């Protein structure tokens, strides 16, 4: 479940190089599922995917929000990598929604340009067909954030969001939503309460864990179901701390 960037790079240098490296400068280098599919980090995303798939077994389509305590925890990078990873599993069809109107990054990370997206869809200025984009990854579709709306959390609280998730559930096995951080904004809690679960991205540095605990309480109070944690930057921590957090999150 943990992503240990520094350590995995070191181990990659020592071990065998990735068998396939697709050099595509348009896709951000942090998208290891694209650039280094044989790396240890990519394996860690696959391990996380296994957990997500096991949770959803026999439950039909799943909608999941990815969020964290504060900005910079690695939400967007994790969301894109997890989405690619899920789309590569047999029998899945994945829709990744950039629901972070405040700092949208999904389109940039995937190397696709800006344009109409979720905000236009929810404001009835575009149709689903207009904003649902096919990506170069088979079975992965993306809805960009669109132009920043004046009232992001109100827009995410609208009935249209519920209708959109219901519609997407008929077309996709997994709907993943990248969102703003929980502690400064209510957006992720609002959206999280409408989805099947929330994955909390936890940056394992000195403040990350504390912020994550706060975020978990806020999410649970809002009625969101926190289904797991995805750990980033574990190299900055005592390795035992990551294992300990995973145990706590499982409780």
Ligand X SMILES: Nc1ncnc2c1ncn2[C@@H]1O[C@H](COP(=O)(O)OP(=O)(O)O)[C@@H](O)[C@H]1O
Closest CB 83 distance from ligand X, rounded Å: 13
Residues in contact with Mg ion, shown as a per-residue x/- string from 123 to 162 under the rule CB under 5 A: ----------------------------------------
Distance CA 45, CA 116 (A): 29
The burial class, CB within 10 Å (0-12 / 13-18 / 19+), for 163 is exposed
User: Which of these segments, 3-11, 36-44, 74-82, 155-163, binds Mg ion (CB under 5 A)?
Assistant: 74-82
User: Which of these segments, 45-53, 69-77, 157-165, 185-193, binds ligand X (CB under 6 A)?
Assistant: 69-77
Our CA dihedral for 206, 209, 86, 5, rounded to 10 degrees, sits at 10
Give the one entry of Mg ion, ligand X, none that residue 67 binds, where binding means its C-beta sits below a cut-off of 5 to 8 angstroms depending on kind. Answer: none
Give the one entry of Mg ion, ligand X, none that residue 88 binds, where binding means its C-beta sits below a cut-off of 5 to 8 angstroms depending on kind. Answer: none
35, 62, 75, 144: residue in contact with Mg ion (rule CB under 5 A): 75
- Asked if residues 145 and 98 have their Cβ atoms less than 8 Å apart, the reply is yes
Our finding on whether 76 is near Mg ion (CB under 5 A) is yes
Which is it for strands 174-178 and 94-98: parallel, antiparallel or unpaired? parallel
Closest CB 29 distance from Mg ion, rounded Å: 16
231: three-class secondary structure by DSSP: strand
Distance CA 185, CA 232 (A): 21
The burial class, CB within 10 Å (0-12 / 13-18 / 19+), for 87 is buried
Closer CB to Mg ion, residue 76 or residue 211?
A: 76
39, 76, 145, 211: residue in contact with ligand X (rule CB under 6 A): 76
Distance CA 177, CA 75 (A): 10
Distance CA 88, CA 74 (A): 21
Closest CB 73 distance from ligand X, rounded Å: 4
Residues 87-106 that bind ligand X (CB under 6 A): 105
Give the one entry of ligand X, Mg ion, none that residue 77 binds, where binding means its C-beta sits below a cut-off of 5 to 8 angstroms depending on kind. Answer: ligand X
**Per rule CB under 6 A, count of chain residues that contact ligand X:** 14
In sequence order, the 6+-apart residues with CB closer than 8 A to the CB of 98 are: 104, 105, 106, 107, 117, 118, 142, 143, 144, 145, 178
> What is the contact surface with Mg ion in residues (CB under 5 A)?
75-76, 105
Residues in contact with ligand X by CB under 6 A are 3, 5, 30, 68, 71-77, 105, 232-233
């Amino acid at each position: 479940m943990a992503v240990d960037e520094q350590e995995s790079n070191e181990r990659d240098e020592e071990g065998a190089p990735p068998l396939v490296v697709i050099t595509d400068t348009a896709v951000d280098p942090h998208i290891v599922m694209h650039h280094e599919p044989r790396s240890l980090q990519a394996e860690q995303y696959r391990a996380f995917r296994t957990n997500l798939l096991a949770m959803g077994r026999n439950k039909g389509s799943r909608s999941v929000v990815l969020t964290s305590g504060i900005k910079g925890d690695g939400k967007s990078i994790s969301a894109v990598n997890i989405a690619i990873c899920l789309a590569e599993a047999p029998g899945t069809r994945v829709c990744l929604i950039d629901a972070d109107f405040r700092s949208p990054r999904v389109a940039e990370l995937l190397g696709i340009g800006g344009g109409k997206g979720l905000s236009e869809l929810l404001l009835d200025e575009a149709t689903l067909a207009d904003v649902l984009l096919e990506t170069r990854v088979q079975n992965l579709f993306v809805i960009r954030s669109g132009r920043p709306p004046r009232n992001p959390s109100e827009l995410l609280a609208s009935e249209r969001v519920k209708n959109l998730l219901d519609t997407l559930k008929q077309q996709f096995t997994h709907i993943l939503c990248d969102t703003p951080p929980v502690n400064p904004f209510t957006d992720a809690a609002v959206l999280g309460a409408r989805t099947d679960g929330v994955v909390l991205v936890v940056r394992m540095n000195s403040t990350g864990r504390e912020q994550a605990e706060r975020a978990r309480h806020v999410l649970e109070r809002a009625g969101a179901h926190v289904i797991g944690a995805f750990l980033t930057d574990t190299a900055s921590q005592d390795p035992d701390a990551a294992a300990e957090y995973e145990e706590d999150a499982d409780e």
